[in-house]
Amino acid sequence: MSIDTQLAAFAAENDVTLEAARVLLDELRAQVGGERFYVFWTMGGGTGAGAAARKRTLLAFPTPDGALAFAQRNGLVSPGEQPRLRRFALLQLIGAMLREPAIATLILAADDDPPTAGQLPRGVRIERAELLRRLAGKG
């Protein structure tokens, strides 16, 4: 599927103009210097009513090694468990934020010095409210 087709589908799904979607995607690509990112997938820890209301941060890394190293450093990989990485296009990550109100922040991690355990990686930080403003043409 071409990027134009994907952008048109994204714009229609999220009730935004094609131009607003294109501008946002182009600006983010320029900021992060990439199109594909890797997310470490975890299971568990997110059940019950409290989990649904909790605001979440989605971390996306430019390389699978960066995502896995972050997960290992922070104890997200259980012994004997196969790591689960998923590759997403930038447009898919933005779409996930719009579909899931619990995702309040997206961090597109920089591919430089990894943070110490317990710290979030440096990179481009996108707040859900900012994303909505930008797509509405107000930011």
Question: Please, which pLDDT band fits residue 50 given cuts at 50, 70 and 90?
Answer: low
* Domain boundaries, given as residue ranges, for the chain: 3-135
Residue 52's pLDDT is what? 55
Mean pLDDT across the chain: 86
> Does the pLDDT at position 78 exceed 50?
yes
% the chain with pLDDT above 70: 90
Within a 10 A sphere around the Cβ of 47, how many other Cβ atoms?
Answer: 8
Average pLDDT over residues 126-138: 89
Average pLDDT over residues 17-29: 93
% the chain with pLDDT above 90: 59
pTM, 2 dp = 0.84
Q: Are the beta carbons of 32 and 76 closer than 8 angstroms?
A: no
> Does the pLDDT at position 83 exceed 90?
no
106: closest CA among 86, 126, 91, 88?
Answer: 126
More confident residue, 81 or 27: 27
Q: Are the beta carbons of 60 and 106 closer than 8 angstroms?
A: yes
